[in-house]
Amino acid sequence: MKNSEIKFQVDLDENSFPKSIKWDASDKEGSGLEDTKSISLNVWDNQNHSTLRIDLWTEEMSVVEMKRFYIDILGGMAQTILNSTADEYMSEEIKELCDRMVKHVNEENKAG
């Protein structure tokens, strides 16, 4: 059996706000910690049948980047739900939502 490990290192300021976020994974290309501006981690809690979430971002993460990050996450979820359950309806609904949100963000950026 193969073992894979993912690590996150978060440096916090005096108010416990992330100043820097770094990550590493045993299966990623290259070695060593890499910087990122944001992480979103979801874990299924079998015991309580609920989702546990950790969402962290640094002050360098712009509002536009944050919106695009979450649109990207939802798009990935659309593909995952299709791959894992073959539920085309759910997958398409999520993709259509992503398309509407991309349009919204693009229009918002033009106006700003």
pLDDT > 80? residue 97: yes
Return the domain boundaries, the chain.
Answer: 1-60, 62-112
Residue 88, φ and ψ in degrees, nearest 5: -65, -35
pLDDT in tens, 2-41: 999 999 999 999 999 999 999 999 998 888 999 999 999 9
The structure's pTM equals: 0.84
Task: Name the maximum alpha-carbon separation found in the chain.
Answer: 53
Integer angstrom CA distances of residue 89 from 79, 81, 86: 12, 10, 9
Nearest-Å Rg of the Cα atoms of the chain is 17
